[in-house]
Amino acid sequence: MKNTLLTSAAAGAILAAGVAGTAMADGHATDLTLCWAAWDPANALVELSKDFEAQSGHTMNFEFVPWTSFADRMLNELNSGGQLCDLMIGDSQWIGGGAENGHYVKLNDFFDANGIDMGDFIPATVTGYAEWPKNTPNYYALPAFGDVVGWTYRKDWFERPELQAEFMDTYGYALGVPETLDQLTDIAQFFQGRDIDGTTVYGAAIYTERGSEGITMGVTNWLYNYGFQYENPEQPYDIAGFVNSAEAAAGLEAYKELYDTGTPPGSSNWYMGENIDAYRSGQVAMQMNFAFIWPGVEADENVGGGKSGYFPNPAGPAGQFAQLGGQGISVVAYSEKQDAALEYIQWFAQPEIQARWWELGGYSALSAVVEDPSFASSQPYAQTFLDSMAIVKDFWAEPAYADLLIPMQERIHNYVVAGEGTAQEALDGLVRDWTEVFEDEGKL
């Protein structure tokens, strides 16, 4: 991307020079450890952080853990008061626990002293990654990586004249980017079991994984758009009739229909990695996945170079929303190197660094980067990222979020994949589970 942020960058460079000068003059060069998940953006952050090392004199170490064990490993680290991590890029759902349990340093005074304004970041990322309680100006992280569930599709397959003609004859509308979830299911069913260049392909790779958070991160893209709400907007933690509304049950039924009729055989426990593999190997026409995968899709010799396209999660009967992903970066309260860790946050917040972050494959949450006139055309997926971040919702960020996630994973998987009971029964059971959690937490 062309960097047109020269004025802001110059100001940031002055800040950085101050950071570097202080560290080097005082002789306090420090080894810092940053903890995050093991995925492509982490590799980009290692490259980006070389600039911080050069400017500050500090040395950056990284502890990257696969997503399947990331929460268990890092939440155990925080809950035990461990000192492995000086900086933590924790999941958006961790912010409540990080704040209330004293795991993260509150950053308000630091932000004020260093001219870091949360109004300069995409509002959804501030609410999702930094604030606790939500919608209050209490900050425990800096938005670090904007992410959202979206869709990748085989544009080259969709554009084949014979498939376009057959699809029009069958469904009565053009084969293209789906505008609704019903159209997405039509398309998945159209490609299911079809022969493409001598290979049997399938409709869509969706999230079905049970062990961590996968099926929850998938099904919410249907539930939100059918009318599911986490709670009564007028009364916090009042969930009956909102979580298990008839509309929410219809959304759950629609997700199961897609799973039953438009996904590959054996895809009963798939999450990010399995979906990527299925798409890149030419098994599916579409894949649900977080936006972080799109740079890798573009670079892939099998599906990149114009063969793929991108679109936001389509609308449902109650609106158009998408599941928020992404993370904020926090200073761990148990670190003995908090001053140096704060220097890293100050450096990372600079517009110049945020622009470079996007260039390397990170997803900046700084408004000056994403609102730059060149942003939307800087990558084939950039506009889809913008459109998707404008429609995000997130799972509970309560301190007890893990206790809320476990029953949702179980009940949704049992219904969608195992075919147990009805959608209404699954959501009614979830209301009972969540009510018990909130009672134990003293919220009810």
User: Mean pLDDT for the chain?
Assistant: 94
- Show the domain range for 179: 149-323
Within-domain flag for 61: yes
Mean pLDDT of all residues in 204-209:
98
Q: Is residue 335 part of a domain?
A: yes
User: Burial level of 196, CB count in 10 A (0-12/13-18/19+)?
Assistant: middle
For β-strands 149-154 and 308-312, DSSP reports them as antiparallel
In this prediction, residues 347-365 reach a mean pLDDT of 97
Does the structure show a pLDDT above 50 at 9? Answer: no
Q: What does the pLDDT look like over 386-398, one tens digit per residue?
A: 999 999 999 999 9
pLDDT of residue 42: 97
pLDDT of residue 6: 31
> Among the three residues 362, 386, 410, which one is the final residue of a domain in this structure?
386
Separation of alpha carbons 285 and 276, rounded Å: 12
* CATH (domain of 133): 3.40.190.10
Which of the listed residues 364, 386, 408 is the one where a domain comes to its end? 386
Look at residue 17 and tell me whether its pLDDT is greater than 80: no
| Co-location of 189 and 127 in the same domain | no
- Indicate whether 164 and 306 sit together in one domain: yes
User: Over pLDDT 70: what percentage of the chain?
Assistant: 94
Same domain, 291 and 161: yes
pLDDT tens for residues 125-155? 999 999 999 999 999 999 999 999 999 999 9
Does 265 share its domain with 290?
Answer: yes
Angle among Cα 196, 307, 327 to the nearest 5 degrees reads 115
pLDDT digits (tens, 9 = 90+) for 156-175: 999 999 999 999 999 999 99
Answer whether residue 194 shows pLDDT above 70. Answer: yes
- The pLDDT value recorded for residue 11 is 38
CA distances from 151 to 156, 243, 291, 429 (A): 15, 25, 8, 30
Q: Which of 323, 341, 371 is the last residue of a domain?
A: 323
Decide if 409 is inside a domain.
no
Same domain, 79 and 228: no
Q: Tell me how many domains the chain contains.
A: 2
Supply the pLDDT for residue 139. Answer: 98
Q: Are 23 and 343 in contact (CB under 8 A)?
A: yes
Give the mean model confidence (pLDDT) for residues 284-302. 97
Contact between 252 and 316 (Cβ < 8 Å): no
Instruction: Indicate if 162 and 109 belong to the same structural domain.
Output: no
Question: pLDDT at position 369, please?
Answer: 97
Task: Tell me the angle at which helices 246-262 and 181-191 cross, rounded to the nearest 10 degrees.
Answer: 20
Would you state the pLDDT for residue 29?
85
Three-state helix/strand/coil letters over 298-341: HHCCCCCCCCEEEEECCEECCECCEEECCEEEEEECCCCCHHHH
The answer on 333 and 317 residing in a single domain is no
Judge if 120 and 223 occupy the same domain.
Answer: no
Domain contains 175: yes
| 228 lies in the same domain as 340 | no
The pLDDT of residue 4 is above 80: no
Task: Convert the pLDDT of each residue in 345-354 to its tens digit.
Answer: 999 999 999 9
Alpha carbon distance 95, 93 (integer Å): 6
Residue 220 in any domain: the answer is yes
CA distance linking residue 373 with residue 266, whole number of Å: 44
Q: Give the mean pLDDT of 196-224.
A: 97
Q: Is the pLDDT of residue 62 over 90?
A: yes
Is 443 inside any structural domain?
A: no
Res 299: pLDDT: 95
pLDDT at residue number 68: 84
Please give the structure tokens belonging to residue 211: 């062990």
Task: Please tell me whether residues 132 and 210 are part of one structural domain.
Answer: no
Task: Kindly state whether residues 353 and 242 are assigned to the same domain.
Answer: no
The pLDDT tens digits of the residues spanning 82-123 come to 999 999 999 999 999 999 999 999 999 999 999 999 999 999
Statement to judge: residues 133 and 236 lie in one domain: no
End-to-end alpha carbon distance in the chain: 50
pTM: 0.92
16 has pLDDT over 90: no
> Is residue 174 assigned to a domain?
yes
Is residue 346 one of the residues assigned to a domain?
Answer: yes
User: What's residue 28's pLDDT?
Assistant: 74
